[in-house]
Structures are given as C-alpha cells and as structure tokens.
Amino acid sequence: MRLGIISDIHQQPQNIAVALEHFLVERVDLLVGAGDISNSYKSLQQVVGTIASVGIPAVLFPGSHGKLMAWQNVFQEVPDQVVDGLQHRKLPLDGFDLVVMPGSEFFAGGEVVLTDDGNSRIEQGRYFSSVNDLEWLVDDPSKTVIACHNPPLFRTDQAVDYAFLGGKNAEILPGYDATYYNLILNDEEKFPVRRENRGYQPFTAKIASVFHRKEEKVITAHFHESTHKATDRDERSIPEGTWTRNLYHLASNLDFYRVGIWDTRINSGVLEVKYKNINLGKFF
C-alpha cells in the first residue's frame, strides 16, 4: 500500500493542489494529513474540499492550530472517503492498522491538546488527545503505523523533533519566524535563538512501553526544521528507499512544498515500510 503524507499547510491552502497532482501520478492509495492543514475555517474548507474533489481516500486530523468547532463543522460537509481523524482514531488498512494521534503539546491558537492525563475526551471546548489511548488502539504492535502531529521527544539534532525557536518579552517564535525577524531587526533588538529537541516526553515513554520490540513506524510533523529527517528509535538515520521495521519520519511541510510517500509490505508477519522525500517546488 502507498501512503501520501501532507502536513503543515498553514496559510498556503493553494499548495494542496500541487501535492495532490503529484500523488495522483505516484498512484497513492491513501492521503494522510498529519496536522496543521489550515490556520482558519476558510482555508480548512478549501483544503478539505480540494481533497474531496480529487477522490483520493484520506484521513485528516488537527495539529497545533486546529479549532475544534471549525473542524467539526467542515467535516459535516465532506464525502465518506475523507475521514475525520478525531472521530476515527484507528483505520484497518492493507494488512495493518493506521492509528491517529492528533493534537500538539505546543499549539498556536489550537484546541486539540496532546496530554498523558487519562484518555482522550472533549472538555471545556477542547479535545484532549491522550497518549494513553495507544494502550487500546494498538492491537498488534508489529502491524501498526502511528500518524501524529507532535512527535515524541528525542535527544539529538538528527531527530524528528529538533527545532529552534526564539523571542523576547516572553514571546516565543518558531524557528523560521525567529530567524526572519533577526534578519530584519536592528542589532539592539535582536534576540537569541535556541536549538533543542521539543518532542513530547510522555509520548516517548508510552511508545516504548507499547512497542517494546522497537517495531514502531511513526509519521510525524510539526517541527519544520526537521522536515524529511528519518531515523529509528535510537536516532540512527534510515536511508530513503530502505525497508525497515522501525521508522520515525517527519515527512511533510507543505507550506514549503515538501511531502512524503510511504510504501508498506508485510514480511515474515511484520509490517515493513520504506519512504521517499519529495520537494515539489521552491517556497520563495
């Protein structure tokens, strides 16, 4: 089976058409939208509508920007081939399950929060997405793919959660924004930009307990600086096109025209995957 992976479209909803055109050529079987596919109701409606019009089956879920009511309203209007990942957390596919972990620990106006408190629930206008759900969502760890927005916590700059951020007066800006402002600010206004791993530690611990044999396959997003990085749990680089049983891959950053493709197979009773990174064009 072939998965086409998108995420982090943000304020560039027109970019989805470029990705879908490529995925049609690549004969993608399922589109996985791993969060931040819009920053507003209008752009979410445009992105989801474009996907529905092309006809590629898809599962989409919010990341750090998703507004809960806007999400729910848009998904009342789409055909069944476009699946709401908040409502359907596990999809049986071709010999394996795709398990969805929406939300983010660090979010920008969003209402879908990654947590390790209890199980997932809607409370006070927010969707609390609990990593504890993996305990009941994962039936066979050797035949499961996790799709998330906020990755687990790692240690090095090779990992999928490595980012840089900065700001002043208690304001925090993500890497590209922080770097841009430092380029245009006067010298006395510049601020330090720190680099660190920003994944969610309880997510790391839960994956380790559920996937004890290191056979997890995880699609991640969120940290643009790590786009197209791919490692195993021990942060060893996995080369493109290599079949593997243990992969963490930050596959997409579509506001910068970057997407990914996964191929899957069952080998000796275990799911294996290989990935391809795709740059669709320039972003400036």
pLDDT of residue 192: 77
**pLDDT tens, residue by residue, 10-46:** 888 899 999 999 999 999 999 999 999 988 889 999 9
In this predicted structure, the answer to whether residue 169 has a pLDDT above a threshold of 80 is: no
pLDDT of residue 77: 84
Instruction: Identify whether 172 is part of a domain.
Output: no
CA distance 46 to 38: 9
What are the C-alpha distances in Å from 277 to residues 80, 126, 226, 245, 266?
28, 33, 12, 18, 22
**Contact present, 131 and 114 (Cβ < 8 Å):** yes
Residue 80: count of CB within 10 angstroms of its CB: 7
Instruction: Identify whether 195 is part of a domain.
Output: no
Instruction: Identify whether 192 is part of a domain.
Output: no
Instruction: Identify whether 96 is part of a domain.
Output: yes
- State how far Cα 37 lies from the chain centre: 10
Q: What are phi and psi of 205, to 5 degrees?
A: -65, -40
Q: Where are the alpha helices (DSSP H) in the chain?
A: 15-25, 41-54, 68-74, 134-137, 175-184, 201-210
Percentage, residues of the chain above pLDDT 70: 93
Whole-number CA gyration radius for the chain? 18
**pLDDT tens, residue by residue, 204-257:** 999 999 999 999 999 999 999 999 999 999 999 999 999 999 999 999 999 899
SS3 175: helix
pLDDT of residue 194: 79
Instruction: Identify whether 208 is part of a domain.
Output: no
In this predicted structure, the answer to whether residue 173 has a pLDDT above a threshold of 80 is: no
> With bands split at pLDDT 50, 70 and 90, how would you rate the model's confidence at 283?
very low
Number of domains in the chain: 1
Domain that holds residue 93: 2-151+213-279
In this predicted structure, the answer to whether residue 284 has a pLDDT above a threshold of 60 is: no
Calculate ∠ Cα 38-44-47, nearest 5°.
95
Q: What DSSP character marks residue 237? A: B
pLDDT of residue 178: 66
CA distance 140 to 97: 8
pLDDT of residue 175: 65
Greater confidence, 5 or 79? 5
Residue 270: count of CB within 10 angstroms of its CB: 15
pLDDT of residue 160: 98
**Contact present, 149 and 200 (Cβ < 8 Å):** no
CA distance 112 to 89: 14
Percentage, residues of the chain above pLDDT 90: 77
**pLDDT tens, residue by residue, 63-121:** 999 899 999 999 998 899 999 999 999 999 999 999 999 999 877 788 999 999 999 99
Instruction: Identify whether 62 is part of a domain.
Output: yes
What are the C-alpha distances in Å from 267 to residues 22, 112, 240, 254, 273?
28, 36, 19, 31, 10
Instruction: Identify whether 58 is part of a domain.
Output: yes
- Three-state secondary structure string covering 39-55: CCHHHHHHHHHHHHHHC
Q: Domain of 51: which CATH number? A: 3.60.21.10
What does the longest C-alpha to C-alpha distance in the chain come to? 61
CA distance 43 to 122: 24
The helix (H) or strand (E) run that includes residue 273 is strand 270-279
pLDDT of residue 188: 76
Instruction: Identify whether 178 is part of a domain.
Output: no
The helix (H) or strand (E) run that includes residue 14 is none
